[in-house]
Amino acid sequence: MTTTRIKKMTLYTKNGRPLQESGNIVYSKSGKVVGRISGKKVFGKDGRYVGTIVGDRLVHRSADRAGVGSSFSVASRASSALAKRAGSAISGDEPNIPD
C-alpha cells in the first residue's frame, strides 16, 4: 500500500494575511476555499484568476489576470490560528480573499 503525502505550507497575501495550502488547494485562514494552484497562479472555484504565488505570497497581478482555469468543487476545511505577517513590497495588489 502506498501512502500519499499532502503538502501543507503557509502562504500569505501581499498584505500579510495568512492562507493555508494543502495539495494544490489554497484556503483562507477561516478555511474557505480561495482557489486551486495551477503552476504559479491560483484560480477560484469559478475558474477566475485570484493571484500569482511569489515566494510565500499570493499577489493579484493585473497582467496575469487574462488566464482562466477550469471550475472545480472542494469542501472547506477547519480554520487556522496563524498570525498575520508584515506586508510585502512585491509588485501587485492584495488579492480578493473570502473571509
Q: Is residue 97 part of a domain?
A: no
pLDDT at position 35: 93
Q: Is residue 28 part of a domain?
A: yes
How far is residue 29 from each of residues 16, 79, 97, measured CA to CA in Å? 11, 6, 10
Q: Give the span between the Cα atoms of 63 and 45, in whole angstroms.
A: 20
Domain that holds residue 58: 8-64
Q: Is residue 54 part of a domain?
A: yes
Q: Is residue 20 part of a domain?
A: yes
* Cβ neighbours around 75 below 10 Å, total: 7
pLDDT at position 62: 86
pLDDT, tens digit, 9 for 90 and up, residues 17-73 = 999 898 899 999 888 999 999 999 999 988 899 999 999 999 999 877 766 666 666
Q: Give the span between the Cα atoms of 26 and 34, in whole angstroms.
A: 5
Residue 2 has pLDDT above 50, yes or no: no
For the chain, what is the domain count? Answer: 1
Average pLDDT over residues 12-16: 91
Whether the full predicted model's pTM is greater than 0.75, yes or no, is: no
Q: Give the span between the Cα atoms of 19 and 27, in whole angstroms.
A: 6
The CATH number assigned to the domain holding 30 equals: 2.40.220
